[in-house]
């Protein structure tokens, strides 16, 4: 069944940080929404590229060789194998597009690892 998705409505359904929610599927990829606040962990994904689209706020994406500031309405694609560290000084709302096999913490297992994501 074809349905439209209201991003603001979906974001209002949760308040936790660093816990992506699935809101759609495209081919072999998930469309996810998440809220971030604070610093995540350095990690990379061996086999998956990731797209981070900032819906609200400002995301700092630290890379080994530089820092990128991603503002509302901007996105960045992190290629597989690239170490990165997302940081949100204030709450950030993100739309993620990534293969279904993508584990949020990539090559690092931690208390922030989410193997089973909620569909909302």
Domain assignment of residue 118, yes or no? no
Domain assignment of residue 1, yes or no? no
What does the block give as tokens for 88?
């949100």
pTM of structure: 0.88
CB of 93 within 8 A of CB of 70? no
Mind listing the pLDDT tens digit of every residue in the chain (120 residues)?
A: 889 999 999 999 999 999 999 999 999 999 999 999 999 989 999 999 999 999 999 999 999 999 999 999 999 999 999 999 999 999 999 999 998 887 665 666 766 656 677 689
Residue 9 DSSP symbol: H
Dihedral sign computed on CA atoms, order 77, 54, 3, 20: positive
CATH number assigned to the domain comprising residue 59: 2.60.120.10
Query: CA 39, CA 73: separation in Å to the nearest integer?
Result: 21
Domain assignment of residue 102, yes or no? yes
Residue range(s) defining the domain that contains residue 92 = 7-107
CB of 99 within 8 A of CB of 74? no
Domain assignment of residue 48, yes or no? yes
Residues with Cβ within 8 Å of 90's Cβ and at least 6 positions away in sequence, in order, are 37, 57, 58
Domain assignment of residue 34, yes or no? yes
The structural domain count of the chain equals: 1
């Amino acid at each position: 069944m074809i349905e439209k998705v209201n991003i603001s409505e979906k974001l209002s359904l949760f308040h936790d940080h660093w816990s992506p929610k699935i809101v759609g599927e495209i081919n072999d990829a998930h469309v996810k929404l998440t809220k971030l606040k604070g610093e995540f962990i350095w990690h990379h994904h061996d086999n998956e590229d990731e797209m981070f689209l900032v819906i609200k706020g400002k995301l700092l994406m630290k890379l080994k060789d530089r820092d990128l500031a991603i503002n509302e309405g901007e996105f960045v694609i992190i290629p597989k194998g690239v170490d990165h560290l997302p940081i949100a000084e204030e709450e950030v709302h993100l739309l993620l597009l990534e293969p279904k096999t993508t584990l949020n913490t990539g090559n690092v297992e931690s208390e922030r690892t989410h193997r089973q994501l909620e569909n909302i």
